[in-house]
Chains A and B, each alone.
Chain A
């Protein structure tokens, strides 16, 4: 038998606060495009979005507490995302 070994005391409230703060930060940064410039805005906002998505996946979806978390990240997120990117980019070659 395999008992439930997941962490019961998840930092849900802390993650929520982090997500709210990051959303506010994104919102504010988007208004600084004239100051920061497109080349800085784009990676900054994408970076924050990926961190937020990572927090949701790790804590809310509970991937961090799964035994097979590396496999889940690779098979569920990375692999399909790379395939999607390749399919999207293919028409740009040639």
Chain B
């Protein structure tokens, strides 16, 4: 607990996370333009998003005096939470729509029939033939991905340890654990790319079937989030190396930690939904 004679100030209000959330929302518009053939417009929006992301990182890693934390009715890192809410909506839609597509397929005929009887769902509304849905274990390397899941969970642990280190003003610990977090995240991505390579060479591509399309869509977007997370960890590690954090000022580490854990949380759900069931 905090020393009664010492006020630990850890919160810095920033408008960037909600700003990024709004920009991330425009990512959907960019994808719409790209998919409809208006490449220049789509790329311009994506480019704007990347610039804003870099500005956010620069702002978060810049050394500035943190104002004392005041009594406030909202949680710490309020805008980061709002940003994460937009991410829940984003991944919720990805997973939800993929789930519904799967319910229309040959995979879960019994469950689909149950939902038709209970809620009156119409899975054959479009009149199309139910898509073929292969067994995940026949296509995907589940043991390898289970190990990869373990690696991402481990990276969350090192991120927690990083925050705990700076809470105790143990700066070398912060640097070490941020380094391990970035390395574990990179290992996760390398294994995912290795998996993609093997799947592509064996003929399983996004064009193969709807399972392929939803698989690459969900894991690809998650991988992009891990990649962005590694960049964020890299930048706060850089700032930590310059002595930019102390037990009185580490809100940037906490904010990136929240994002990192959220990415881990999403993968926990994706691993079960895509690979195991």
Which residues of A come within 8 Å of B, CB atoms? 1-5, 8, 10, 12-13, 16, 19-20, 23-24, 26-27, 29-30, 38-39, 41-42, 45-46, 48-49, 52-53, 56-57, 59-61, 66-68, 71-72, 75-77, 79-81, 83-85, 87-89, 91-94
B256 to chain A, nearest CB (A): 12
B81 to chain A, nearest CB (A): 5
Nearest A-chain residue to B254, judged by Cβ: A62
Q: Is the CB of B153 within 8 A of A20?
A: yes
8 Å CB contacts to A: which residues of B70-99? Answer: 70-72, 74-76, 81-82, 84-86, 88-89, 92-93, 95-97, 99
Given that A5-B2, A89-B100 are known contacts, is A61 also in contact with B261, CB under 8 Å in the complex? yes
10 residue pairs bridging A and B, Cβ less than 8 Å apart: A4-B2, A23-B149, A46-B273, A49-B272, A60-B157, A60-B264, A83-B89, A88-B93, A89-B100, A91-B100
Q: Is the CB of B70 within 8 A of A57?
A: no
Q: CA of A6 to CA of B232 in the docked complex: distance in angstroms?
A: 24
The 10 closest A-B pairs by CB, nearest first: A84-B92, A88-B96, A49-B272, A80-B89, A80-B88, A30-B276, A92-B121, A4-B8, A68-B75, A60-B261
Q: Which of A10, A56, A72, A83 has the most CB of B within 10 A?
A: A56
- Which of A2, A8, A92 interacts with B167 by CB under 8 Å? A8
Chain B interface size range: 35 or more
Q: Is the CB of B92 within 8 A of A80?
A: yes
Chain A residues in 8 Å Cβ range of B207: none
Q: CA of A49 to CA of B167 in the docked complex: distance in angstroms?
A: 30
Q: Is the CB of B99 within 8 A of A23?
A: no
B179 to chain A, nearest CB (A): 18
Chain A residues in 8 Å Cβ range of B261: 56-57, 60-61
Interface residue? B137 (CB, 8 A)? yes
Q: CA of A2 to CA of B19 in the docked complex: distance in angstroms?
A: 26
Q: Is the CB of B122 within 8 A of A94?
A: yes
Chain B residues in 8 Å Cβ range of A93: 120-122
Q: Is the CB of A2 within 8 A of B72?
A: yes
Q: Is the CB of B92 within 8 A of A1?
A: no
Q: Is the CB of A75 within 8 A of B159?
A: no
Interface membership of chain B positions 92-129, coded 1 if the CB is closer than 8 angstroms to chain A and 0 otherwise? 11011101100000001011000000001111010000
